[in-house]
Amino acid sequence: MATLGSHEQKHKVTVVGSGNWGSAIAKIVAENTAAHPDIFQKDVQMWVFEEEYQVPKASKHYDASSKFSTEKHKLTRLINHFHENVKYLPDISLPSNIIANPSLQESVKDSTILIFNLPHQFIGGLCDQMKGSILPYARGISCIKGVEVSEEDISLFSESIGEKLGIYVGALSGANIANEVAQEKFCETTVAYDPPPMDSRNPTPKEGRTPQASQLDLTQITEHKDTKGLTSKVRLTAQPADLPPLDHELMHTLFHRPYFHVHVVSDVAGVSLGGALKNIVALAAGFVAGLNWGDNAKAAIMRVGLLEMRKFGKMFFENSVRTATFTEESAGVADLITSCSGGRNFRCAKMSVQRQMSIADVEKEELNGQMLQGTSTAKEVYGFLKARGKEGEFPLLTSTYLILQGEAKVEDLPDLIAKSNVF
């Protein structure tokens, strides 16, 4: 790893997104940018989808004599005034060096590190708005759990963002319930970042020549491999040498806190798939919990689910996935455990069985306009597998989708997942 030291320029960080998880991540990185002034600019821009909001009477900031409480204000103004996201992450103090900004173009301007943390359905439109406003050598981290799936292909959100913006983007995922992270309750996460070769500060000697006369300037390389082992469509621009090298060490410095432990790996596909497929498994775990079948049944669902997650990764991303990512990293087994214990996919699936109503109706009642990722991912993954005749090799992923569609019963789940002997 490169040694972090004094450099002429410092990294500027922007968080694109300001929901509860986006605000929690902004809190973490702002604490670290302030703690490492030799590497980072102190202020962290946080793009906020502007809306008007009134501080609720239950808030600690509510003051009946203040117009800040008795009238609606722009959310960005409230965040910058109270140093708290009073709507999406209430009662959590944010560092004063977080600057809430309603302008997407202004918030990403001159930033060398972009952290994406927003609902996946908004990615395309926001990337279109960012074009022309970001540095050509910016690098990114996607905190968006899930993958883009169609019958034709499957791609990672990190790579979709990278292709739209012409930059390299890694991923962050793990057993990270936003409110617990914001409350500084101990947890772990996994950051997946495979530094592009042009960002290396160590020239590679050409074979058969003396090192002094034959060093290959990696900064002139524009190509890199994607997670499927193919040459990426994106032609990258090397980061300037006067910036601290953006490698595993710097990523650790940016995200690690005493309460938020970080392990940095290169397996972007494995980390991304873990964050997507575990949501389907969590639905299945919620179904059996709704029947009050107990912890043994839930453990059985989780075991089969973990095996299918690992198999899926190796089958469709064989050139980059490490199967150990699913069993060793927070983005794998730990995130699965958390999601099958208290995540919203699990909770809504459980309530749908208990209340004998569709999960879509539970979603409307319980999530205040937000949407479950597990249901859409289950549909997309099933279509992807079916188009390849592989649905029978993933009985849990397939059965969960069929239950959502009303084509199978939760009570039949043990028999459905026992039909395959592929493991």
For the chain, the C-alpha Rg in angstroms (whole number) is 22
The residue with tokens 């214990």 is 341
Segment holding 325, helix H or strand E: helix 324-328
Strand 154-156 to strand 147-149: parallel, antiparallel, or no bridges (unpaired)? Answer: antiparallel
278 catalytic per annotation: yes
DSSP state of 145: -
CA–CA gap between residue 307 and residue 328 (Å, rounded): 13
The answer to whether the beta carbons of residues 153 and 131 sit under 8 Å apart is no
* Catalytically annotated residue among 12, 87, 278, 298: 278
The answer to whether the beta carbons of residues 114 and 193 sit under 8 Å apart is no
Q: What is the DSSP string of 254-275?
A: HH-BTTEEEEEES-HHHHHHHH
| CA 355 from centroid of its chain's CA atoms | 31
**For residue 90, what are the contacts with CB-CB under 8 A and spacing of at least 6?**
59, 84
CA–CA gap between residue 196 and residue 84 (Å, rounded): 36
Dihedral angle over CA of 107, 102, 262, 372, nearest 10:
-140
**For residue 125, what are the contacts with CB-CB under 8 A and spacing of at least 6?**
none
CA–CA gap between residue 31 and residue 247 (Å, rounded): 20
Residues annotated as catalytic (active site), given as ranges:
278
